[in-house]
Amino acid sequence: MADHTLVFIVLGLTLAAFVWGRFRYDLVALTALLGSVLLGLVPGDEAFLGFGHPAVITVAAVLVLSRGFERSGVVDVIAEQVLKVGDRFFLQLVALSVTVVVLSGFMNNVGALALLLPVAMRLAREHDTSPSLLLMPLAFGSLLGGLTTLIGTPPNIIIASYRRSVSGEAFGLFSFSPVGVAVALAGLAFILLIGWRLVPQRAGKASTEAMFDTANYLVELKVGEDSKANGLTLRELQRELEETIPVLAVVRDDKRRAGHAFFGVLREGDILMLEAGPEEMKLLEDKAGLSLGVEPEDQAEAADDISGERVDPVQHQPSDDSNDQRTERKEKKDKEKKEKKKRVDTEGLELVEAVVRTDSMMVNRTVSQLRLHNQFGLHLVAVARDGGRLKQRLRDIRFRAGDVLLLQGGESELSESLATLGCLPLASRNLALGQPRMLLVSLGIFALSILAILLGALPAAVALAGAAVVSLLVGVLPLRDGYQAIDGPVIVLLAAMIPVGQALESSGGAALIAEAMLVWGGQWPAVVTLIVLFVITMMLSDIINNAAAAVLMAPIAVSLANGFDASIDPFLMTVAISASCAFLTPIGHQSNTLVMGPGGYRFGDYWKMGLPLELVVLAVAIPMILIVWPL
């Protein structure tokens, strides 16, 4: 069997596995690489050269530098300025979208989104706006901003490195800017004027109480003399129930102790404050003998509801209050009760919302597998998915990227635990995050690396890797955080797919695909082929990682250019722009996935704004490419 046929089979199976999504894309890419080695398509001694490829090193360095920006206080400065825009929705949208576009040009676009996501959620909550109207424009803006520079997005880095391997010279730091800036501005104008109106509005998801409905499920259960819970620790009680029901607090002698920090033995009279639904409450009553505690004022209210009129507990005679007075008094009491309930939900319990990132260790694992409480000191209180709280048992939930978690833990440990788990705090409860500010230091180091690239003193990979090392040495971020910042799955994906992409070229497979496209459109001008290449790459990036799309399409683009006897630059630039425009699905880019849970989006919501945005990008990109990079 010919080598190019084997390559097509390997790539076909790889793409099918990417689309299926059963296995992580880094594992799929590594399997494709090993399969290519076994089939003789990639020499064994060259199989892992991709891990030292300049594109891989550059991506890793940019990720470390982006984390340094996060830890050095950039988020505080940005939040302080963006939050000044006031309560006008359009100004909020402009401030967030413009900021994320600018940031994404000089740091990893997922990192830029992560900086602004808590800011957007805070704006939505303070001004009673649906976050769905802010978050999708924010995610799409981060993709548009990545188009503007070499380091804005991995496809640009890949295409620049591929150009070096073909022509001996890479694209420069700002070679992408003329086309990228024009596309980003056109896309931004569309989002601000039209696009946000196409986003489905998920009303009421901005608040924790609305998303998780915690107020309706917060209950107090009392330990009686004959309760099975009497004499058990909380962990023993959970083992007895065979269910992880989070106890938010234990009240003893009018003193409240947070559930995650209570390690003593329960005794008669203790009150457990916990978050439970009707099924869990029945379980607690039947198996643990816990009783629902009802306060005297609640009994009086219950009597009011039954009789329909106020009853004096001593005289047992109807009061002389008018109906209006009774109604006013009842409304006042209901309001006080509601406010009290809200205070109970937050007071001293260190609750925080966090969204599961695509690279999180929690993905496809359960609470027990992660040992959240024992290893990380966290209680899982509730999980929201697609904008609504999951009602199934917490122990049975397998986490997905984009899930929003309501967690309880010690405030001092929350930040570190969430970072280790790969969760992004939404900081809805004023959680203090980050290290002391080293904003000027981190920006200075980054500026020197950019200057070295512009002056041609150092290649991009060396300059940015040096900047990352210096940032670690001077303490902009701890070494452990630097390693955590490197997105392992993306690095493995790139390192594994680069040799497979080279096999597509060396086997003649890329030339065959290009030849078929030339025969099919032989009577058409080259610009039509550019449009077809743009659309194919853009569709591919909507279903697989954009870096993988760039790796696979780059050799085909060069073969097409050679077939037309034209410059390779407009064809490579077409792949670079289109690979980063994954606007149709939540799985096409990590930014899209990251906002899915907090925004309450469904899979089919993205194309409503994404499809017209892709058409705008196509309409602007092709003419600009031909002007800046003529055939």
Average pLDDT over residues 30-39: 92
pLDDT of residue 336: 52
Q: Which residue has the higher pLDDT, 334 or 128?
A: 128
- pLDDT of 378-421, one tens digit each? 878 778 886 677 767 677 788 988 888 888 777 666 777 887 88
Task: Tell me the pLDDT band of 243, cut-offs 50, 70 and 90.
Answer: low
Kindly state the helix (H) or strand (E) to which residue 406 belongs, with its residue range: strand 404-409
Average pLDDT over residues 286-300: 54
Average pLDDT over residues 152-168: 89
User: Can you tell me the distance from the alpha carbon of 295 to that of 301, in angstroms, rounded to the nearest whole number?
Assistant: 10
pLDDT of residue 76: 64
pLDDT of residue 279: 63
Q: Flag whether pLDDT at 115 surpasses 70.
A: yes
Q: Which residue has the higher pLDDT, 289 or 345?
A: 289
Q: Flag whether pLDDT at 131 surpasses 80.
A: yes
- Write down the mean pLDDT value for the chain: 79
Collapsing DSSP states into helix, strand and coil, what is residue 109?
A: helix
Please report the beta strands in 524-603, taking only residues with DSSP state E, as ranges in sequence order.
Answer: none
pLDDT of residue 324: 58
pLDDT of residue 192: 94
pLDDT of residue 144: 95
- pLDDT of 520-576, one tens digit each? 766 778 889 899 999 999 998 888 878 888 988 999 999 999 888 889 999 999 999
Helices (H), 460-584: 460-473, 479-485, 488-506, 509-520, 526-541, 546-564, 569-579
pLDDT of residue 575: 95
Maximum average pLDDT range among 55-59, 187-191, 346-350, 477-481: 187-191
Average pLDDT over residues 344-357: 64
Instruction: Determine contact, residues 204/387, Cβ cutoff 8 Å.
Output: no
Average pLDDT over residues 31-43: 91
pLDDT of residue 493: 84
pLDDT of residue 468: 92
Instruction: Determine contact, residues 179/628, Cβ cutoff 8 Å.
Output: yes
pLDDT of residue 332: 57
Average pLDDT over residues 106-131: 81
The strands making up 404-409's β-sheet, listed across from edge to edge, are: 388-389, 378-385, 404-409, 351-356, 423-425
pLDDT of residue 428: 44
Task: Tell me the pLDDT band of 370, cut-offs 50, 70 and 90.
Answer: confident
Q: Flag whether pLDDT at 171 surpasses 80.
A: yes
Average pLDDT over residues 164-180: 90
pLDDT of residue 611: 94
Instruction: Determine contact, residues 393/429, Cβ cutoff 8 Å.
Output: no
Average pLDDT over residues 460-483: 89
Task: Tell me the pLDDT band of 330, cut-offs 50, 70 and 90.
Answer: low
User: Can you tell me the distance from the alpha carbon of 534 to that of 19, in angstroms, rounded to the nearest whole number?
Assistant: 20
pLDDT of residue 328: 61
- pLDDT of 591-628, one tens digit each? 888 888 788 788 788 999 999 999 999 999 999 999 99
- pLDDT of 246-257, one tens digit each? 777 788 877 777
pLDDT of residue 507: 85
pLDDT of residue 342: 41
Q: Flag whether pLDDT at 474 surpasses 80.
A: yes
Q: Which residue has the higher pLDDT, 114 or 566?
A: 566
Q: Which residue has the higher pLDDT, 609 or 87?
A: 609
> C-alpha dihedral over 360, 115, 192, 601, to 10 degrees?
30
Instruction: Determine contact, residues 361/432, Cβ cutoff 8 Å.
Output: no
HSE, CB side, 13 Å, CA atoms: give it for residue 67. 24
Q: Flag whether pLDDT at 339 surpasses 70.
A: no
Phi and psi at 385, nearest 5°, equal: -140, 135
pLDDT of residue 476: 85
Task: Tell me the pLDDT band of 340, cut-offs 50, 70 and 90.
Answer: very low
User: Can you tell me the distance from the alpha carbon of 385 to that of 160, in angstroms, rounded to the nearest whole number?
Assistant: 38
pLDDT of residue 296: 35
pLDDT of residue 629: 92
Q: Flag whether pLDDT at 297 surpasses 50.
A: no
Task: Tell me the pLDDT band of 298, cut-offs 50, 70 and 90.
Answer: very low
Task: Tell me the pLDDT band of 23, cut-offs 50, 70 and 90.
Answer: confident
Amino acid at 521: G
Q: In this predicted structure, which of 36-45, 319-328, 348-357 has the lowest mean pLDDT?
A: 319-328
Angle at 175 between CA 526 and CA 534, to 5 degrees: 35
Is the pTM for the entire model greater than 0.85?
no
User: Can you tell me the distance from the alpha carbon of 341 to that of 214, in angstroms, rounded to the nearest whole number?
Assistant: 10
Core vs surface per residue 270-281: b (16+ CB within 10 A) or e: bbbbbbbbeebb
Task: Tell me the pLDDT band of 294, cut-offs 50, 70 and 90.
Answer: very low
